[in-house]
């Protein structure tokens, strides 16, 4: 079955992946393509509609990103957002000019008024808040277009040629700050493009399983299972498709959180696959002994993982396919074809030379992270695995500051478990995007009972973020922090002081190392 497709042309805006997510959330499949993609390739996608994204350029500047005007003869609706709106106007005979003074520029939350007779704004209030971000404006609207929205500083906040199905908005409907932005996109998809909404995760699962069975046949498949969301969902999908033809190699390096290795193994116990768990804790700790520099820790762990994977793959023998959990943001961010190849090798941590595979299979390459989680639920993976917190490849090694020992790792495991447990008890898991504990290398004097202690300081870290490029520290209620602190100090030997990291990114990073 071929899904109805919305083509999103990427002109370099910061919210472009968010547009794609919003379209998918409305039940319509879409793909994000660079504006440089050949027109014949785009037309072959047979889209029911096209969206031009925002971008940092000015449409009138020499060399500004553009598109072949032939796209306007396809007979499909087009929605231009911000730069995309200005490009639409520029190419169809309007005039876009730089704002002459600050009053014509708009940045941030901006009240706007709408012509609710326009299909794009059907069912909306006559006015609401939008998110503007532009320094240029449309001085002249193209022939055939009418103004469909306006603000105090922008007389043409939205334009429409309803006869041809061409629409443009100066604001960003894809961001939450635009109060009715999702409804606007929904209107474009269903009222203007006449989508039927045939993109469901259940259908995607069924179609993917059928396609994988046809492609793989009776051949062998190998997957390096980290226990992370992406590789776990990829493994479950392949298990559903080819069962015992799949071998998952799970390298337990001893740097995982409390009970995590057992949870991963238990999650895959019901599946008819060959699950190989390699308990390599001692091997990794020997390699890491005395190492304190964060980047060196990462390199040692990455290389050692490959060595263990190589050894296990050799026992299995030649395989035909290697599976990796590449997801859609990886594909988009990798850019050109050459970069995509480099990225795909990087995603599996470096491919052993002697693993004789016919092809790399990337069953999740069309999905965003939230869609991957949804697919995991469709496949029957337990919620604790599907919704697990992001976890760095080097594991707890970069959450133990300084040298690494088993005793320190065990201490951190217990403290981190308590932190996550108290957050869960308070019902706050969905209010933060990543939270964890860090065992610092700092020791300080404390008092327990009538005795003096000289133990480690534990740092708690929690952030909220949309994309992990920037992040704000989470305002965890004081009573929850108090419960975490009291429980850790009273039950975890070796820790006598708790601190909470209130630094955003930037200037800090999410992880400490």
Catalytic residues: 82, 172, 174
Task: Round to whole Å and give the CA distance between 273 and 212.
Answer: 15
Report residue 283 as tokens.
């091997």
The H helix count followed by the E strand count for the chain is 15, 20
Task: Round to whole Å and give the CA distance between 465 and 473.
Answer: 9
What b/e string do you get for 470-491 counting C-beta neighbours within 10 Å, with b at 16 or more? ebebbebeeebbebbbebbbee
137, exposed or middle or buried, with CB in 10 Å at 0-12, 13-18, 19+? buried
CB atoms within 10 A of CB 182: 16
Nearest one of 13, 10, 17 to 468, comparing CA atoms: 17
For residue 390, the 8-state DSSP code is P
CB 357 within 8 A of CB 247: no
Task: Round to whole Å and give the CA distance between 407 and 403.
Answer: 11
Task: Round to whole Å and give the CA distance between 111 and 121.
Answer: 15
Report residue 8 as tokens.
């999103």
Report residue 216 as tokens.
């793989």
CB 402 within 8 A of CB 387: no
Q: Which helix (H) or strand (E) holds 308?
A: helix 294-316
CB 46 within 8 A of CB 29: no
Task: Round to whole Å and give the CA distance between 244 and 251.
Answer: 19
For residue 471, the 8-state DSSP code is B
């Amino acid at each position: 079955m071929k899904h109805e497709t919305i083509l999103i042309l990427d002109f370099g805006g910061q919210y472009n992946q968010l547009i794609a997510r919003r379209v998918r959330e409305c039940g319509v499949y879409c793909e994000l393509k660079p504006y440089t993609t050949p027109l014949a390739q785009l037309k072959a996608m047979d889209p029911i509609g096209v969206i031009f994204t925002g971008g940092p350029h000015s449409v009138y500047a020499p060399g500004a990103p553009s598109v072949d005007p032939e796209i306007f003869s396809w007979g499909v609706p087009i929605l231009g957002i911000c730069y995309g709106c200005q490009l639409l106007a520029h190419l169809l005979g309007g005039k876009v000019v730089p704002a002459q003074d600050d009053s014509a520029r708009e940045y941030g939350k901006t009240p706007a008024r709408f012509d609710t007779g326009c299909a794009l704004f059907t069912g909306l209030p006559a006015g609401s808040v939008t998110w503007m971000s532009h320094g240029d404006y449309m001085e002249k609207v193209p022939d055939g277009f009418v103004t469909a929205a306006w603000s105090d500083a922008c007389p043409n906040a939205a334009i429409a040629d309803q006869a041809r199905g061409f629409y443009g908005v100066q604001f960003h409907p894809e961001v939450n700050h635009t109060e009715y932005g999702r409804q606007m996109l929904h209107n474009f998809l269903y009222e203007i493009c006449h989508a039927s909404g045939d993109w469901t995760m259940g259908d995607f699962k069924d179609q993917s399983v059928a396609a994988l069975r046809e492609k793989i046949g009776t051949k062998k498949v190998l997957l390096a299972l980290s226990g992370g969301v992406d590789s776990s969902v990829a493994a479950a999908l392949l298990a559903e498709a080819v069962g015992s033809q799949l071998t998952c190699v799970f390298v337990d390096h001893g740097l995982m959180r409390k009970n995590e290795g057992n949870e991963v193994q238990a999650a895959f116990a019901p599946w008819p696959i060959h699950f190989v768990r390699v308990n390599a804790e001692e091997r990794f700790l020997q390699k890491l002994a005395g190492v304190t520099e964060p980047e060196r820790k990462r390199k040692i762990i990455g290389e050692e993982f490959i060595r263990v994977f190589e050894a296990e793959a050799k026992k299995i023998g030649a395989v035909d396919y290697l599976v990796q959990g590449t997801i859609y943001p990886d594909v988009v961010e990798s850019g050109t074809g050459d970069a995509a190849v480099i990225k795909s090798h990087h995603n599996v941590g470096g491919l052993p030379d002697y693993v004789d595979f016919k092809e790399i299979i990337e069953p999740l390459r069309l999905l965003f992270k939230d869609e991957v989680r949804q697919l995991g639920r469709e496949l029957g993976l337990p919620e604790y695995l599907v919704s697990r917190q992001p976890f760095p490849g080097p594991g707890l090694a970069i959450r133990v500051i300084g040298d690494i020992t088993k005793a320190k790792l065990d201490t951190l495991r217990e403290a981190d478990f308590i932190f996550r447990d108290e957050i869960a008890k308070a019902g706050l898991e969905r209010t933060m995007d990543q939270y964890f504990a860090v065992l610092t290398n700092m020791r300080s004097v404390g008092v327990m009972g009538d005795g003096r202690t000289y133990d480690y300081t534990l740092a708690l870290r929690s952030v909220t973020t949309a994309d992990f490029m920037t992040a704000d520290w989470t305002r965890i209620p004081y009573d929850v922090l108090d419960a975490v602190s009291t429980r850790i100090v009273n039950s975890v030997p070796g820790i006598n002081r708790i601190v909470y990291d209130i630094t955003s990114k930037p200037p800090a990073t999410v992880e400490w190392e």
